[in-house]
């Protein structure tokens, strides 16, 4: 396989050329899984999609070209990602969608995983009360009941095309294979031992020799599972053979998901979290994700203050202090709203958020130990998809298996990876999860409860109520702070979509009491923050954000994050 790098003003493309001559798949047969380009940024006239894989982005664009709307594209892209981006694309995980339709409807869909009925509060503690994080993070016991397939069927009520049309590209990709990128080859190689340890059979991800760029990944068992979904609908996953295979996999080890858990899984349609920021309307995801509340708190804590420039010491300090306070609230107050009363109204109110910043000191860091959750009297892999269609519908979806390749348990005979989302519960008060997030009673494990998420699919409408920004990102606890910075970059600093996504990011989450920064963060700002008492640590990439910015002339400026194989497509 040869690689050609094309650089142009708005588009960085890497074209994979393969000797393969297998059939070209997908809607209209225009998606070629062996010859494809990574397009980082492009402005389209009518419709566009940005997501973690160029093949999946092309599937989405093809579906819209044949008349499908943003919901059709979202379903097709999700199924395709479950095949071509197994680290996070999934049918064995869950996610959230916010959308705004051309008819003015705002939709928030919660298809987060749930704790199996046999789950209980201390299930990850040993007899001495010590957390066993290997059990909440890997293998069968780490999996919640998957929500993705039910979520996609729920989305389908807003779509135009048949499910069988939308799932077929994924079936073809699984059955005939596709050329993997260097990044995918490296991560599959890195996961080999973990897959072997946590799965009962050798899955399609295991090879005798190392994977390399351009190799074809074929997933026959996954193709059969997708065909059952195509032919039997949602029941093709939650009942019958697929459900039996999931339960059989559970019984090979310590898993507890039952046939009833699967049959009883339900999607929740929530009331979207809607707030205004300087005349724009921002639509976010309410609990069971903390994402919308945190993004709202962060934006509101900025709204009345002067931001003197991009990542200046003053602006950065202000944003960091807001982040510290928002994450303290998350740990105390947020959990599945069907099990825990989340004081959303207070947490997002102007008065409360002004009060929250009263102890902000512009000359020095506020130690996190001095910050508690506010007083209220009122009782590293996920993936994001941003889509706008030619009709004006916008869809923003974040979906995940939690960790990269989830639990690393591939369901024998069904070919898909199960999530390890149970780790997003607070396994014990004061014990951080894999992203360092703390939690307590609000997010304790209970049967059928949804574990608290940070996923923040977001849509911004402009002053005329027209779609302006569609965005979201993976990144665990860094998700709301990445979305926050992306919104500030565009709304306050007027950046184009590409700059808004690619600028270095920073992150504070209350505990650990430190500011994490990406490579490239301003040296001068770092120096000044350190002088004020902030501990600064450089870390790996923060987020893989996908942005569509709708320009005043209606064009769709679409950008995929430089931090991965993320790509845009459209027309
Ligand atoms: O729902 C959440 O907040 C986490 N399970 C998300 C995990 C994630 O973003 C990993 N990606 N880097």
10 Å CB burial of residue 475 (0-12, 13-18, 19+) is buried
**How far apart, in Å, are the Cα atoms of 148 and each of 94, 458, 482?**
4, 19, 24
Enter the DSSP assignment of 271: P
- The residue-averaged pLDDT of 208-212 equals 97
Residue nearest to atom 6 of ligand 1 (CA): 476
pLDDT band at residue 232, thresholds of 50, 70 and 90?
Answer: very high
Q: What contacts 351, CB < 8 A, 6 or more positions away?
A: none
pLDDT at 68 over 60: yes
DSSP 371-431: --PPP-----EEEEEEEE-TTS-EEEEEEEEESTTTTSPBPTTT--BPP-GGGGSBSSTT-
Q: Tell me the C-alpha distance between 224 and 203, whole Å.
A: 14
Query: Can you give the pLDDT at residue 1?
Result: 36
Q: How far, in Å, from the CA of 403 to the mean position of ligand 1? A: 7
**In the 8-state DSSP scheme, what is residue 564?**
S
Looking at the CA of residue 291, tell me the nearest atom of ligand 1: 3
Report helix angle 54-65 to 163-176, nearest 10.
150
Distance of CA 188 to the CA centre of its chain: 20
Q: Is the pLDDT of residue 120 over 50?
A: yes
Q: Give the model's pLDDT for residue 340.
A: 96
Share of the chain above pLDDT 70, in %: 94
Residue identifier of the C-alpha nearest atom 8 of ligand 1 = 476
- Dihedral over Cα of 6, 10, 16, 21: its sign: negative
Q: Mean pLDDT: which of 371-380, 423-432, 461-470 is highest?
A: 461-470
Among all residues, which ones are annotated catalytic?
A: 382
Residue in the block written with tokens 């680290």? 87
Query: What's the mean pLDDT in 53-81?
Result: 97
Mean pLDDT of 389-399: 98
Tell me the C-alpha distance between 428 and 445, whole Å.
9
How large is the average pLDDT for residues 552-561? Answer: 98
Confidence of residue 380 (pLDDT cuts 50, 70, 90): low
Enter the DSSP assignment of 335. S
Per-residue pLDDT band for 18 (boundaries 50, 70, 90) equals low
| Best of 294, 381, 433, 435 for a ligand 1 pocket test (most atoms within 8 Å of beta carbon) | 435
Strands 515-517, 536-538: pairing kind: parallel
Q: Is the peptide bond before 512 cis (omega within 30 degrees of 0)?
A: yes
> Residue 464 above 60 pLDDT?
yes
Find the helix packing angle between 54-65 and 70-84, rounded to 10°.
150
C-alpha pair distances (Å), 412 with each of 204, 409, 415: 10, 9, 6
Contacts of residue 517, Cβ cutoff 8 Å, sequence gap at least 6: 504, 505, 506, 507, 526, 536, 537, 538, 539
pLDDT of 377 reads: 62
pLDDT of residue 436: 86
Judge whether residue 27 has pLDDT over 50.
no
pLDDT tens for each residue of 320-379: 999 999 999 999 999 999 999 999 999 999 999 999 999 999 999 999 999 999 887 654
Q: Which atom of ligand 1 is closest in space to residue 543's alpha carbon? A: 12
Structure confidence at residue 434 (pLDDT): 87
The pLDDT tens digits for 90-102 are: 999 999 999 999 9
Average pLDDT of the chain, as a whole number:
94
pLDDT band for 14, please (50, 70, 90 cuts): low
Predicted TM-score (pTM) of this structure: 0.95
Best CA proximity match to 129, nearest among 440, 545, 429, 333: 429
Ligand 1 interacting residues, C-beta cut-off 6 A = 380-382, 400, 402, 421, 424, 453-455, 474-476, 479
Give the residue with greater pLDDT, 394 vs 376: 394
117 is written with which tokens?
Answer: 């009925």
Which pLDDT band, with edges at 50, 70 and 90, does 21 fall under?
very low
- Top mutation candidate among 335, 400, 436 for ligand 1, by most atoms within 8 Å of CB: 400
Q: Is the pLDDT of residue 417 over 60?
A: yes
Q: How far apart are CA 530 and CA 524, in angstroms?
A: 10
- Using alpha carbons only, give the angle 459, 465, 470 rounded to the nearest 5 degrees: 20
- Beta strands 273-277; 280-284: pairing state: antiparallel
DSSP reduced 3-state for 106: strand
Q: How far is the CA of 454 from the centre of ligand 1 (A)?
A: 7
Expressed in angstroms and rounded, the spacing between residue 456 Cα and the centre of ligand 1 is 10
Rounded distance from Cα 284 to ligand 1 centre (Å): 16
Residue 503 has pLDDT above 60, yes or no: yes
Measure the CA–CA gap between 97 and 484, rounded to whole angstroms: 18
Question: What would the DSSP string read from start to end of 119-176?
Answer: --TTTTB-TTS-B-HHHHHSSGGGPPBP-HHHHHHHHGGG-SS-HHHHHHHHHHHHHH
Mean pLDDT, range 485-514, rounded to an integer: 97
Separation CA 188–CA 197 (nearest Å) = 14
Neighbours of 250 (CB within 10 A): 23
The partner residues of 281 in beta bridges, in order of sequence, read: 276, 461
Distance CA 381, CA 126 (A): 27
pLDDT of residue 150: 99
Pocket test for ligand 1, best of 81, 479, 561 (most atoms within 8 A of CB): 479
Q: How far is the CA of 398 from the centre of ligand 1 (A)?
A: 9
Residue nearest to atom 4 of ligand 1 (CA): 476
Instruction: Name the residue with the closest Cα to ligand 1, atom 1.
Output: 453
* 446-460 tens-digit pLDDT: 999 999 999 999 999
pLDDT at 287: 98
Band (438; pLDDT cuts 50, 70, 90): confident
| Rounded average pLDDT over 22-51 | 83
Q: Are 72 and 159 in contact (CB under 8 A)?
A: yes
Q: Give the per-residue pLDDT at 12.
A: 46
Confidence of residue 30 (pLDDT cuts 50, 70, 90): confident
Question: For residues 422 and 451, is the Cβ–Cβ distance under 8 A?
Answer: yes
Cα(404) to centroid of ligand 1, in Å?
Answer: 9
Q: Residue 70 and residue 55: Cα distance in Å, rounded?
A: 17
Q: Indicate whether 28 pLDDT > 90.
A: no
Q: What is the predicted pLDDT for the residue at 23?
A: 45
8 A C-beta contact, residue 135 and residue 425: no
pLDDT digits (tens, 9 = 90+) for 283-332: 999 999 999 999 999 999 999 999 999 999 999 999 999 999 999 999 99
Per the listing, tokens 């209980």 go with 120
d(CA 302, CA 318): 8
pLDDT (mean) for 156-169: 97
């Amino acid at each position: 396989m040869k690689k050609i790098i094309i650089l142009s003003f708005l588009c960085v493309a890497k074209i994979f050329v393969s000797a393969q001559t297998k059939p070209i798949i997908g809607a209209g047969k225009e998606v070629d899984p062996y010859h494809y380009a990574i397009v980082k940024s492009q402005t389209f006239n009518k419709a566009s999609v940005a997501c973690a894989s160029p093949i999946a982005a092309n599937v989405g664009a093809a579906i819209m070209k044949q008349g499908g709307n943003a919901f059709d594209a979202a379903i097709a892209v999700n199924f395709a990602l479950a095949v071509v981006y197994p680290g996070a694309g999934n049918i064995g995980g869950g996610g959230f969608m916010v959308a705004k339709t051309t008819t003015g409807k705002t939709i928030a869909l919660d298809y987060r995983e749930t704790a199996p009925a046999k789950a209980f509060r201390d299930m990850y503690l040993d007899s001495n009360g010590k957390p066993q994080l290997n059990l909440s993070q890997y293998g069968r016991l780490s999996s919640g009941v998957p929500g993705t397939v039910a979520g996609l069927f729920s989305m389908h009520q807003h779509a135009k095309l048949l499910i069988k049309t939308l799932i077929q590209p994924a079936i073809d990709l699984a059955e005939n294979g596709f050329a993997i990128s260097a990044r995918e080859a490296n991560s599959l190689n890195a996961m080999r031992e973990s897959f072997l340890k946590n799965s009962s059979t050798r899955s399609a991800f295991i090879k005798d020799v190392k994977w390399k760029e351009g190799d074809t990944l074929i997933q026959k068992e996954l193709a059969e599972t997708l065909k059952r979904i195509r032919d039997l609908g949602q029941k093709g996953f939650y009942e019958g053979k697929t459900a039996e295979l999931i339960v059989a996999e559970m019984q090979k080890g310590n898993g507890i998901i039952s046939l009833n858990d699967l049959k009883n899984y339900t999607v929740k349609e929530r009331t979207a979290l809607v707030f205004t920021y300087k005349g724009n309307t921002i639509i976010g995801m309410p609990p069971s994700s903390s994402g919308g509340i945190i993004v709202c708190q962060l934006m509101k804590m900025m709204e009345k203050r002067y931001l003197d420039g991009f990542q200046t010491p003053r602006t950065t300090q202000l944003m960091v202090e807001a982040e510290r306070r928002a994450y303290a609230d998350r740990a105390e107050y947020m959990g599945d709203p069907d099990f825990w009363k989340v004081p959303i109204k207070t947490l997002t109110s102007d008065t409360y958020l002004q009060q929250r910043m009263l102890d902000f000191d512009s000359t020095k860091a506020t130690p996190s130990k001095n910050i508690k959750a506010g007083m209220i009297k009122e009782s590293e892999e996920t993936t994001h998809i941003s889509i706008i269609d030619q009709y004006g519908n916008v869809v923003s979806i974040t979906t995940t298996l939690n960790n990269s390749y989830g639990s690393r348990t591939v369901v024998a005979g069904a070919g898909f990876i199960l999530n390890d989302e149970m780790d997003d519960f607070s396994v014990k008060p004061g014990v951080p999860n894999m992203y360092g997030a703390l939690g307590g009673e609000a997010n304790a494990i209970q049967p059928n409860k949804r574990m608290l998420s940070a996923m923040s699919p977001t849509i911004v409408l402009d002053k005329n109520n027209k779609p302006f920004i569609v965005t979201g990102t993976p990144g665990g606890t860094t998700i709301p702070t990445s979305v926050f910075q992306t919104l500030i970059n565009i709304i306050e600093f007027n950046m184009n979509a590409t700059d808004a996504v690619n600028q270095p990011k920073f992150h504070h989450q209350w505990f650990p009491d430190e500011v994490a920064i990406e490579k490239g963060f301003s040296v001068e700002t770092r120096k000044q923050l350190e002088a004020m008492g902030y501990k600064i640590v450089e870390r790996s990439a923060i987020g893989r954000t996908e942005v569509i910015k709708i320009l005043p002339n209606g064009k769709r400026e679409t950008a995929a994050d430089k931090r991965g194989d993320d790509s845009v497509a459209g027309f």
